[in-house]
């Protein structure tokens, strides 16, 4: 039950993605054609807010609820960041969904996107299967 | 009351999304990320003795709660509080879609592209099945998506996340401008 709090964070996150129209195929199309500021506005406010919060957390050496020292993530570079990143971008342009919105698109009633979702799971599975044969 | 149904402007949605980062860290030292749940679900459903899927997924099950919430949030935002008015797209987008034979935008997705019948056509197959596959394959290969790299990684000033995010956009811009028009013309 200690995980139930993440359900509530998820609800707010999903509601925001949906009401902010970040799960909209139309908005993603518009973003990739530079025809609207909307999606860029979301990124350009979300990242500074996240960065500033992280800065404050580290400055004040805040701990998590269970007393753990909060360590910011370290993302190591590997070539998959480029190759995988591009492939994901291709898919994002077609589906109008990154993984978060995949869930929210289903929830918002576009039930056919369950197929998009299952296909994304298949993509992850195939990556897992051939991971060793792919350049890292 | 009307305010509840209106879409949220970017300067409301963006900061709330950004606040997910500190909230998850403070609640349990958790790092925002969504694409990892696809790996989790693969490990639950069909690990098939693949080493990458043989791990203690239960240990990280917090993120399954997160995405269950995202699904519910989508339901609240898209069904209960759905915007009755057409999405306020730019004129350039609306006229382009019209040119491609799509009717006036309504809802969040063009339902003439995303429906069950469309799945049996090449167009629908490419958009949903091929597109979804690339989302799942690409995000795992990149070890993160728009959340993990784009929001969390960039907030933590991780340069590999900047490379990843730039590639997400580069790939999207290329496909949306040069491949999507071909698919829409099918």
Q: How far apart are CA A53 and CA A51, in angstroms?
A: 5
Residues in chain B within 8 Å Cβ distance of A82: 163-164, 167
Q: What is the DSSP string of B32-83?
A: P-STHHHHHHHHHH--TT-GGG-S-GGGGTHHHHHHHHHHHHHHIIIIIT--
Which residues, numbered 76 to 135 in chain A, qualify as contacts with chain B under a Cβ-Cβ cut-off of 8 Å?
76-78, 80-100, 102-110, 112-113, 115-129, 131, 134
Give the pLDDT band of residue B118 (cuts 50, 70, 90): very high
Q: With contacts defined as CB-CB under 8 Å, which chain A residues touch B100?
A: none
- pLDDT of res. B43: 96
In A27-46, the residues whose Cβ lies within 8 Å of chain B are 27-33, 35-46
B149 has a pLDDT exceeding 80: yes
- Residue A72 and residue B41 in contact, taking contact as beta carbons nearer than 8 Å: no
Q: At what angle do helices A80-95 and A25-32 cross, to 10 degrees?
A: 120
Please judge whether A92 and B53 are an interchain contact, meaning their C-beta atoms are less than 8 angstroms apart.
no
Asked if the model's pLDDT at residue B1 lies above 80, the reply is no
pLDDT at A72: 86
**Which chain A residue lies closest to B47 (C-alpha atoms)?**
A125
Buried b / exposed e along B55-88 (16+ C-beta atoms within 10 A): eebeebebbbbbbbbbbbbbbbbbeeebbeeebe
Distance of alpha carbon B132 from alpha carbon A91, whole angstroms: 6
Using only the alpha carbons of chain B, give its radius of gyration. 19
CB-CB under 8 Å, B141 with A9:
no
Instruction: Give, in order, the Cα–Cα distances in Å from A100 to each of A22, A68, B66.
Output: 10, 27, 10
Please tell me the predicted confidence (pLDDT) of residue B178. 97
Judge whether residue B2 has pLDDT over 90.
no
Alpha-carbon distance B136 to A123, whole Å?
5
Rounded Cα distance between A12 and B77, Å, is 10
pLDDT for A134: 94
Of A16, A31, A78, the CB nearest to B17: A16
pLDDT at A2: 87
Find the closest chain B residue to A86 by CA distance.
B171
Distance between CA B21 and CA B33 in Å, rounded? Answer: 10
**DSSP single-letter state for residue A1:** -
Full pLDDT tens readout for chain A, 136 residues: 789 999 999 999 999 999 999 999 999 999 999 999 999 999 999 999 999 999 999 999 999 998 999 988 999 999 999 999 999 999 999 999 999 999 999 999 999 999 999 999 999 999 999 999 999 8
pLDDT in tens, B60-99: 899 999 999 999 999 999 999 999 999 999 999 999 999 9
**What is the pLDDT, as a whole number, of residue A1?**
75
Q: Is 90 exceeded by the pLDDT of residue B180?
A: yes
Q: Name chain A contacts of B34, Cβ cutoff 8 Å.
A: 98-100, 103
Q: Tell me the shortest Cα–Cα distance from A133 to chain B, in angstroms.
A: 12
pLDDT value for B26: 97
CB contact under 8 A, A119 and B130: yes
Could you say which of B132, B146, B164 has the minimum Cβ distance to residue A115? B132
For residue B36, CA distances in Å to A43, A99, B18, B52, B61 come to 21, 9, 19, 12, 10
Out of B12, B29, B63, whose CB is closest to A68? Answer: B29
Q: What is the pLDDT of residue A45?
A: 98
Of B13, B74, B143, nearest to A106 by CB-CB distance is: B74
Four-CA torsion A99, A125, B30, A67, nearest 10 degrees? 160
Quick check: B180 and A93 CB within 8 A? Answer: yes
pLDDT at site A99 = 96
Can you tell me whether residue A135 is helix, strand or coil? Answer: coil
Q: Burial letters for A34-63: b for 16+ Cβ neighbours within 10 Å, e otherwise?
A: ebbebbebbbebbbebbbebbeebeeeeee
């Amino acid at each position: 039950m200690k995980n139930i709090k993440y359900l509530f964070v998820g609800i707010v996150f999903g509601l925001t993605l949906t009401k902010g129209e970040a799960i909209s195929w139309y908005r993603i199309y518009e973003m990739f054609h530079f025809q609207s500021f909307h999606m860029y506005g979301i990124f350009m406010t979300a990242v500074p807010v996240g960065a500033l919060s992280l800065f404050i957390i580290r400055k004040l050496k805040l701990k998590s609820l269970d007393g753990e020292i909060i360590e910011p993530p370290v993302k190591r570079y590997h070539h998959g960041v480029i190759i995988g990143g591009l492939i994901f971008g291709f898919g994002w342009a077609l589906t109008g969904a990154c993984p978060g919105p995949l869930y929210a698109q289903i929830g918002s009633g576009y039930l056919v996107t369950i197929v998009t979702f299952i296909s994304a799971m298949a993509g992850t599975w195939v990556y897992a299967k051939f991971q060793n044969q792919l350049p890292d | 009351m009307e305010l509840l149904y209106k879409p949220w402007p970017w300067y409301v949605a963006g900061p709330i999304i950004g606040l997910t980062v500190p909230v998850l860290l403070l609640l349990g030292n958790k790092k925002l990320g969504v694409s990892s749940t696809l790996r989790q679900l693969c490990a639950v459903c069909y690990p098939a003795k693949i080493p990458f899927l043989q791990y203690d997924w239960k240990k990280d099950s917090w993120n399954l709660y997160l995405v269950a919430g995202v699904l519910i949030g989508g339901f609240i935002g898209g069904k209960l509080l759905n915007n009755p008015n057409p999405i306020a797209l730019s004129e350039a987008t609306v006229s382009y879609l019209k040119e491609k034979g799509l009717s006036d935008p309504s809802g969040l997705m063009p339902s003439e592209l995303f429906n069950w019948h469309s799945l049996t056509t090449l167009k629908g197959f490419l958009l949903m099945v091929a597109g979804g596959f690339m989302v799942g394959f690409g995000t795992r290969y990149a070890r993160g998506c728009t959340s993990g790299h784009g929001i969390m990684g960039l907030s933590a000033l991780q340069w590999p996340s900047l490379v990843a995010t730039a590639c997400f956009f580069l790939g999207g811009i290329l496909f949306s401008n040069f491949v999507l028009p071909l698919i829409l013309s099918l």
